[in-house]
């Protein structure tokens, strides 16, 4: 109800022609933002997409001379995906969200929807995914959106060079969701300077405004909602895993997808606090993988002892437990900022925080009509005032749904139709 009231008031007093989905006609049913973020879209309301399309897994060597530690041997080459049309078609580059691979559930929605609409699709992992950190990141210290976007842009050029003899392309487009949505804007800005792809359209899906603000929120979602506090993190993880295991045991056929989470939600009716903690935990899990891999490849001594060489037979469990205790802000203050302060003497924390925000490229976003943004009025990764900021910057190029949490409605039929039509028209 509160979301409905806020959205309605915002709509009535909006000074710009923002494309708000009507709260009465918009059929996505989950009004609690945490529930939407965790559950996603119930199957019967998802867009009608093919069960399977022809996806070609490909690999790139980005740095010929990069030495990969033995324990990370499997991440030497960057893995990405190509969905190719047989005929000449536009090509969409899609960037995954925080810690996610090129084949994450959100990427599968983009792949299937865009391929079905007649596009070639190249799907790229997030620069925060371990495979990207080891094989394609210049510094292997992810989280600097400008530097990470430059790495993505290099990968796009290499991927294009690898496939351009196999597919016929008319135009180039770009999209990404969550962190990938923000990176899409930085990549587009870089391409406008380099003029390599000349992206015809760019769509940002549920991007953070300020990466620092969003990770602060995610840290708090976990720390403030685990029963008993962070000292009981392991107990909470075990409880979540046990609940999921119970469903696996009682269902005849189960895939870990929106339908599975919906069943789990129906069975256990988790509290608001538990849902918030699950969201925080999912991001913390991705961050733990990123932090450990970065520490191993840079030999920084942040998680594992400096100069300790891990072998294939060494257990990584304790290192992962340590990584899981490191919040995003800990990573920023103790690892990311010191690294870039060394590279750029005189760099201040406020400068770095600002550079990791859409506000650092605000003029570009305001003036560039080819870039549009989709988000939800109740996206929990947005800090107070940031929804209004997005509305002001993108004006008629903003599509704001009244509910859906963070990406919970990404697979909803109306959202998919809007995304596809944005690129088609």
* CATH number of the domain residue 35 falls in: 3.40.50.1820
Q: Are residues 127 and 24 in the same domain?
A: yes
Q: Are residues 50 and 180 in the same domain?
A: yes
How many domains does the structure of the chain reveal? 2
Q: Are residues 128 and 149 in the same domain?
A: yes
Is the predicted pLDDT of residue 14 greater than 80, yes or no?
A: no
pLDDT of residue 9: 30
Q: Are residues 220 and 191 in the same domain?
A: no
Q: Are residues 45 and 193 in the same domain?
A: yes
What whole-number percentage of the chain has pLDDT above 70? 89
- Top pLDDT among 272 and 355 is at 355
Position 20 confidence tier, pLDDT thresholds 50, 70, 90 = low
Residue 9 lies in a domain: no
Q: Which range of residues forms the domain containing residue 238?
A: 216-343
Residue 11 lies in a domain: no
Is the predicted pLDDT of residue 17 greater than 60, yes or no?
A: no
Is the predicted pLDDT of residue 18 greater than 70, yes or no?
A: no
The domain boundary, picked from 343, 372, 395, lies at 343
pLDDT digits (tens, 9 = 90+) for 237-283: 887 777 767 766 665 555 555 566 666 676 777 888 988 988 888 88
Q: Span 279-291, mean pLDDT?
A: 89
Residue 7 lies in a domain: no
The domain boundary, picked from 318, 343, 368, lies at 343
Is the predicted pLDDT of residue 1 greater than 60, yes or no?
A: no
The 10 Å Cβ neighbour count of residue 260 is: 17
Q: Are residues 315 and 368 in the same domain?
A: no
Q: Are residues 226 and 268 in the same domain?
A: yes
Q: Are residues 50 and 146 in the same domain?
A: yes
Lowest-confidence pick of 111-115, 204-208, 225-229, 258-262: 258-262
Q: Are residues 334 and 364 in the same domain?
A: no
pLDDT of residue 60: 96
Q: Are residues 306 and 320 in the same domain?
A: yes
pLDDT of residue 317: 87
Residue 348 lies in a domain: no
Lowest-confidence pick of 13-17, 39-43, 65-69, 288-292: 13-17
Is the predicted pLDDT of residue 198 greater than 70, yes or no?
A: yes
Is the predicted pLDDT of residue 8 greater than 60, yes or no?
A: no
The domain boundary, picked from 343, 377, 394, lies at 343
The answer to pTM > 0.85 is yes
Q: Span 84-107, mean pLDDT?
A: 95
Is the predicted pLDDT of residue 25 greater than 60, yes or no?
A: yes
Residue 116 lies in a domain: yes
Q: Span 371-398, mean pLDDT?
A: 98
Residue 349 lies in a domain: no
Residue 10 lies in a domain: no
Q: Are residues 230 and 200 in the same domain?
A: no
Q: Span 53-71, mean pLDDT?
A: 94
Q: Are residues 300 and 369 in the same domain?
A: no
What whole-number percentage of the chain has pLDDT above 90? 73
């Amino acid at each position: 109800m509160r979301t409905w009231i806020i959205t309605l008031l915002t709509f009535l007093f909006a000074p710009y022609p923002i494309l708000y989905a009507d709260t009465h006609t918009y059929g996505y049913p989950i009004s609690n933002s945490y529930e939407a973020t965790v559950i996603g879209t119930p199957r019967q309301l998802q867009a009608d997409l093919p069960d399977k399309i022809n996806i070609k897994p490909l690999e790139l060597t980005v740095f010929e001379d990069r030495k990969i530690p033995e324990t990370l041997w499997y991440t030497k080459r960057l893995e990405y995906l190509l969905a190719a049309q047989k005929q000449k078609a536009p090509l969409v580059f899609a960037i995954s969200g925080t810690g996610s691979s090129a084949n994450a559930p959100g990427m599968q929605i983009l792949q299937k929807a865009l391929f079905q609409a007649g596009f070639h699709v190249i799907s790229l992992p997030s620069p925060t995914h371990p495979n990207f950190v080891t094989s394609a990141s210049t510094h292997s210290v992810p989280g600097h959106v400008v530097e990470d976007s430059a790495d993505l842009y290099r990968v796009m050029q290499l991927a294009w060079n690898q496939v351009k003899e196999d597919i016929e392309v008319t135009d180039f487009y770009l999209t990404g969701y969550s962190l990938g949505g923000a990176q899409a804007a930085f990549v587009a800005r870089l391409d406008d300077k380099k003029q390599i792809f000349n992206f015809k359209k760019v769509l940002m899906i549920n991007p953070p405004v300020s990466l620092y603000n969003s990770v602060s929120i995610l840290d708090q979602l976990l720390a403030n909602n685990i029963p008993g506090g962070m000292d009981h993190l392991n107990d909470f993880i075990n409880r979540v895993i046990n609940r999921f295991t119970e469903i696996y045991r009682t269902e005849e056929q189960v895939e870990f997808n929106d339908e599975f989470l919906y069943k789990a939600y129906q069975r256990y009716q988790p509290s608001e606090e538990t849902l918030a903690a699950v969201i925080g935990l999912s991001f913390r899990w991705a961050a733990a993988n990123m932090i450990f891999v970065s520490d191993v490849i840079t030999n920084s001594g942040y998680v594992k002892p400096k100069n300790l060489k891990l072998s294939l037979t060494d257990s990584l469990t304790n290192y992962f437990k340590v990584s899981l205790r490191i919040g995003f802000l800990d990573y920023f203050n103790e690892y990311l900022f010191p690294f870039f302060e060394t590279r750029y003497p005189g760099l201040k924390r406020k400068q770095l925080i600002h550079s990791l925000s859409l506000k650092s490229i605000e003029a570009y976003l305001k003036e560039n009509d080819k870039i549009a943004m989709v988000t939800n009025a109740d996206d929990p990764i947005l800090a107070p005032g940031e929804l209004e900021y997005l509305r002001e910057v993108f004006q008629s190029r903003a599509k704001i749904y009244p509910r859906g949490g963070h990406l919970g409605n990404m697979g909803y039929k109306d959202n998919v139709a809007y995304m596809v039509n944005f690129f088609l028209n």
